[in-house]
Amino acid sequence: METLNFVLAASLKPDDYVGFTFFIGAMAMAAATVFFFIERSRVEGKWKTSMLVSGLITFIAAVHYYYMRDYWIETGTSPTALRYIDWTLTVPLMCVEFYLILRAFGAGIGLMWKMIFYSVFMLVTGYLGETIYRESSAIWGFISTLGYAGIFYEVWFGSAKKLSQSSNDPILQKAFNTLAWFIFVGWAIYPIGYMAIETDGLLSGVLSIQAMDLIYNIGDAVNKIGFGLVIYSLAIQKTNQNAKASAA
């Protein structure tokens, strides 16, 4: 295995920027996982689960990026199936984070399952359109967008947003709003990429497959690690706040 990895690394061309980001993404996700798991000991009980989920998200991504980088170097083609396997595991976990930070303010288990359903629906239908039913990818892309719209509505206007506002907790509200912007801005690269790869998509031909892989790699690292850092900041602030209140 070490010999294979050496050969793969040695075959990485100096101008293969997509390959660079696969290697960087794998290491960045792995480093973030170590950080989240170690820092988990610094937060109080109810925040440990949130930190654990953040670490699991980056751990799953690190493993998949390890295989995706090898796939890219060997074939020079986009590892679509591996990406969707990664997203199908990590995106629902990112949605679970909303439930975890809001459950102290009345979030029910229904919110979590609703968010998970939206995310899985979005990814499964997106995969079908990008791989099996390419001839009707635009239709499947529209269906997939309904799942994204459900997540977007919940965090910007729905029950999750209302729970955040009713908490009267400026620390939580700031963190929640930051995560909501990740959903709006950070996740926007995925439907854009989908429209670019569609044979009859709105952005067909505008971006090359290589360009989209580059954007996906950078976006994945920013979204997943950034998402976890927001949760970490919230957990540390709330832990310190409670410690000061107990000492007073």
Number of domains in the chain: 1
Other CB atoms within 10 A of residue 10 CB: 8
> What separation in angstroms does the CA of 49 have from each of 28, 52, 88, 99, 106?
22, 5, 20, 11, 17
Residue 207's domain spans which residues?
A: 2-247
Confidence of residue 197 (pLDDT cuts 50, 70, 90): low
Task: Read off the pLDDT of residues 36-81 as tens digits, 9 standing for 90 and up.
Answer: 999 999 998 889 999 999 999 999 999 999 999 999 988 888 899 9
- With cut-offs at 50, 70 and 90, classify the pLDDT of residue 202: low
pLDDT of 181 > 90? The answer is yes
| CATH code where residue 6 lies | 1.20.1070.10
pLDDT, one tens digit per residue, over 10-38 is 577 777 889 899 999 999 999 999 999 99
Q: Which residue has the higher pLDDT, 171 or 104?
A: 171
Cβ–Cβ < 8 Å for 173, 140: no
pLDDT in tens, 121-142: 999 999 998 888 888 888 888 8
> According to the model, what pLDDT value does residue 225 have?
97
In the chain, the percentage of residues whose pLDDT exceeds 70 is: 90
Q: For 205, left (φ over 0), alpha (ψ -120 to 50), or beta?
A: left
Most confident of 7-11, 170-174, 189-193, 203-207: 170-174
Least confident segment among 131-135, 157-161, 236-240: 131-135
**Average predicted confidence (pLDDT) for the chain:** 88
- pLDDT tens string 99-114: 999 987 888 999 999 9
pTM: 0.90
Q: Name the CA dihedral angle for 215, 220, 222, 226, rounded to a multiple of 10 degrees.
A: 160
245 band by pLDDT with thresholds 50, 70 and 90: confident
Specify the pLDDT at position 82: 94
Whether residue 29 contacts residue 65, with contact meaning beta carbons closer than 8 Å, is answered with yes
| pLDDT of amino acid 179 | 94
